Structure 1
Amino acid sequence: MTDTAVTSAMSPETPLEPELEILDPHHHLLEKKGVHAYLLDEFKADTSSHKVVESIFVECAWPALDSISEVRKAFEWSRDSATTSGTKITGVIGFADLRQGAAVGELLDEMSSIAESGGGSGLFKGIRHGATWDASPEIRNHRTGPSADLYEERAFREGFAQLARRHLTFDAWVYHPKLPTVASLADEFPDTRIILDHLGGPLAAGRFAGHADQVDEHWKHGMKLVAERQNVFLKIGGIGFDLMVDSTVVPLRPSSKQLADHWRSRILWAIEVFGTDRCMFESNFPADRGVCDYLTIWNAFKLITGDFSDAEKADLFRLSARKAYYGIA
């Protein structure tokens, strides 16, 4: 990419549709010294670039805390967010290792009780247990060391059964070859709301680099399977995730137009298949800031949906997330 292109792409943008209310259903906060730190004040500064009224914290384990400590810290951040102007953290997604089977229920109850005792009744919404895995050494597998078919393991599903009993949601995170395992999970547990993260993980790196047509074919097949399960919602984001971005096409620090042009066809297709009432845009910050800033990501989403009705935009930018996590129709 030329120096001119870099300069142009990094020029500040003006937020589009600044009065459109947003619930950002997927962000992290990292209490870690050094380059990876991303705390509440920085998140609030980012979200002030658009009208982000609510957000949901999602586990990330970067603070080097155990799952209970991370959830407890997230509840503190939620309380702090309510004391100042701007975005309020209204939901927390923790981590629990469902491979523990039925015994994981005790951990889920402890997380809920921490929220209740701290005045955050209903704040704990569910868990995420990532299953990103690929045989290629060039593709990073999830930090929890999943097997190739984690979501199909019997012990995992015994643990998964504990969620519906507690009215908790589940965030699924897989790469596109494993989308059928999400559909299978949704079939066995139709009473659990499952939220598929990051557009279903269409990969553009490793053995998938340069094979966008084949990736699209397999990704669309898996996405159709998942979309047929009405208890599954889709998070549209991860568009700055390095393994999903074709760096030969998307420049570093792209403009919102460049980002929208690259992702438009996939995003519009996914919305058509799932419907606006089961799709929600997400920032995936700070992970996605490796490609662009917060303002640019949301401008890209707004560009892609420029021709949508007000009702459809309300679904995509706030209401579908409230339906998935809060059970609000």
Structure 2
Amino acid sequence: MLALIDTHHHFYDPQAHYYPWLNDAGFPPHRYGDHAALKRPYLPADYARDTAGVNLLGSVHVEADWDPKDPVGEMRFIASLRQQCDLPSVAIGQAWLHQPDAASTLEQLAAFAFVRGIRQKPRANAAPGGPPGGMTDAAWLQGYARLQPLGLHYELQTPFWHLHEAVRVATDFPDTRIVINHAGMPSDRSEEGLRAWRTALAAVAAQPNVAIKISGIGEAGYRWRPDANRRIVCEVIELFGVDRCMFGSNYPVDSLCAPFQSIFENFATYVADFSAQERAQLFVENARRIYRIPAQRIEQQQG
């Protein structure tokens, strides 16, 4: 069985808690299209069924767009799940860095021993061009400056046409790690779109404090396309190298595209010609290092 640490998944319960994208009628469709199938609880028992075909050594819960008025509440929810089943191994919380209460929120999140960083989707344009995005705001940058002293890193999900702003942030804050989500979001799969995505990604890959997760690379209107996604995976690894890339399922969201095991079997096929050590880095070791997942936890999961 394929051994892995899943660096990007979500637990949520819209029957017990408020998630605008799951609870609000008329919420805009997901980037994959209709996401009605996701509007149900997704808890460790569901994840266990989906991951039954792999040797799961650990996992990273990433904030699931929980009620923005109570970002700390999501980590209390995740703490309760961890007490029940020891998963997720670690988590990424939600914080709105430009808000006046950002300092307090970050301090509360950092107080959870299993929280490793925060994710916020900065203000972005729907298409290339337009005004600067949220990573240029003075208030946002003040919030960002608080991450490293608290031992937190930043998970960035933004369209690739805003990655040039991330280059500036990475340069100005060299001691704060950035982990790019979803392979830099190559949403435009035309040749022109992929060239623009690669150019943007190459610039941010030149920053040594930036790593990337190969996750969430499904396409609206399609099931998983192995050949199309192979190009994405291979180009990301070419740009960042095997020591700064990790794989993630983005489950249950990517259940709209493919079964969990199929996604990781495709990942494994794409890197089948890599050395055993390189494959171990991509599937396990980089995640363990970057997310500071204790080795004993992984050994317990193996047992």
TM-score, reference length from structure 2: 0.83
Match of residue 191 from structure 2 = 213
Give, as a single letter, the amino acid of the residue that structure 1 aligns with 2:3.
E
Question: Contact 1:32/1:62 (CA < 8 Å) preserved in 2?
Answer: no
2:235 corresponds to 1:269: yes
2:206 corresponds to 1:228: yes
CA drift at 1:133: 2.8
SS of the counterpart of 1:277?
Answer: coil
Question: Contact 1:172/1:194 (CA < 8 Å) preserved in 2?
Answer: yes
Change beyond 3 A, Cα 1:75–1:191:
same
**Alpha-carbon distance between aligned partners in 2 of 1:327 and 1:72, rounded to the nearest angstrom:** 19
2:147 corresponds to 1:156: no
CA drift at 1:134: 2.8
Question: Contact 1:132/1:173 (CA < 8 Å) preserved in 2?
Answer: no
**Alpha-carbon distance between aligned partners in 1 of 2:126 and 2:283, rounded to the nearest angstrom:** 35
Question: Contact 2:123/2:134 (CA < 8 Å) preserved in 1?
Answer: no
**Alpha-carbon distance between aligned partners in 2 of 1:236 and 1:203, rounded to the nearest angstrom:** 14
Match of residue 40 from structure 2 = 36
Equivalent runs, 1:150-299 vs 2, <5 Å: 150-204=134-188, 212-240=190-218, 245=219, 247=221, 250=222, 252=223, 254=224, 259-299=225-265
CA drift at 1:161: 0.4
Structure 1 gaps, min length 5: 1-17, 83-87, 116-121, 140-146, 205-210
Structure 2 gaps, min length 5: 16-37, 296-303
Question: Contact 2:245/2:282 (CA < 8 Å) preserved in 1?
Answer: yes
Q: How many residue pairs were aligned? A: 271
Question: Contact 1:97/1:104 (CA < 8 Å) preserved in 2?
Answer: yes
Change beyond 3 A, Cα 1:64–1:222:
closer
2:274 corresponds to 1:308: yes
Change beyond 3 A, Cα 1:327–1:151:
farther
SS of the counterpart of 2:89?
Answer: strand
2:50 corresponds to 1:46: yes
Question: Contact 2:212/2:245 (CA < 8 Å) preserved in 1?
Answer: yes
**What is the Cα-based RMSD across aligned positions, in Å?**
2.2
Q: 1:81-103 deviations in whole A, cap 9, x for unaligned?
A: 22xxxxx31111101110026x5
CA drift at 1:214: 1.1
2:75 corresponds to 1:71: yes
Question: Contact 2:71/2:94 (CA < 8 Å) preserved in 1?
Answer: yes
Question: Contact 2:110/2:152 (CA < 8 Å) preserved in 1?
Answer: no
Identity of aligned residues (%): 30
Question: Contact 2:89/2:293 (CA < 8 Å) preserved in 1?
Answer: no
Match of residue 22 from structure 1 = 4
SS of the counterpart of 2:235?
Answer: helix
Give, as a single letter, the amino acid of the residue that structure 2 aligns with 1:289.
S
